[in-house]
Structure 1
């Protein structure tokens, strides 16, 4: 995927990418308070093994020319009965390394994800983003994402 004259490669994440992906997840105000310490990777490695084994899950990384992980996102393919038994693609955990934010990498990565979803037969892409992420909301809207539903979550760790 060319980006400002630089080559960026989109690749299926590997176990050795997990520390870099977790660092991207941790590198914002919300993630810093929600992700565990850098030295406690076991829960992330366990989760990675499960999602990597699931054909409906795809953890993606973007690598720069040196092979360093500079962005990530996770795709989940959900088959349902609505829309005539259609498949939806859920996009989660979109992160771009701080030095490359604003470079077009996020837009290119989401464009890649949309094409991947189409190739997999998805008819709809959906994502959720925290209400406190105003910059992310503007970014997604610029790319054509539209507010069509209200989302609710229930924290199952609380009684």
Structure 2
């Protein structure tokens, strides 16, 4: 396999990103790759916010992964900044290749570089394989998450 490049996403990457978001049982229920209009608006909000890092992994000129890293300054933990890893997706052809590990390690390293003291993420309760993956990388299932649909 060719060299991997991790870089900020561009608007041209949106079709590939949305395609990966929709390419699993959970995403298939909530994503709509046929209409990119809401994704373009969201992308514009993301790139305008310096605390948002929407990135892609590219191999041989193909987007093969994506994640969003959000920096959250806070008062708790003695004024610690934390990062949140969201929307991690690896292209089906790359699953099992080690790309997921490399991608999460990049996010943790970038969090350190940005001065974060804590990295956190959430994962849908149904994603048991993902939970094993994150545990293997040193993440602990330390909290119970709650969501309210608006």
Under a length normalisation based on structure 2, what TM-score does the superposition of the two structures give? 0.98
Which residue in 2 is equivalent to 1:147?
A: 141
Correspondence list, 1:45-124, <5 A:
45-65=40-60, 67-124=61-118
Matched, 1:35 2:31: yes
Q: Distance in 1 between matches of 2:55 and 2:73?
A: 20
Runs of 4+ with >6 A deviation? none
Listed as ranges, the gaps of 5+ residues in structure 2 are none
1:125 to 97, 105, 119: 119
1:36-79 deviation per Cα after TM superposition (whole angstroms, max 9, x unaligned) = 2x2210100000010011000010100002x1100000011001
Over aligned residues, Cα RMSD in angstroms? 0.8
Structure 1: any 5+ residue segments left out of the alignment?
A: none
1:63-122 deviation digits (Å, cap 9, x = unpaired): 002x11000000110011001111000000000000110110000000011000000000
Distance 1:99 1:135 in 2: 17
For 1:18, what is the secondary structure of its paired residue? helix
TM-score w.r.t. length of structure 1: 0.92
3-state SS of the aligned residue for 2:117? strand
Q: Please give the alpha-carbon distance, in whole angstroms, between the structure 2 residues aligned to 1:81 and 1:23.
A: 37
Number of paired residues? Answer: 150
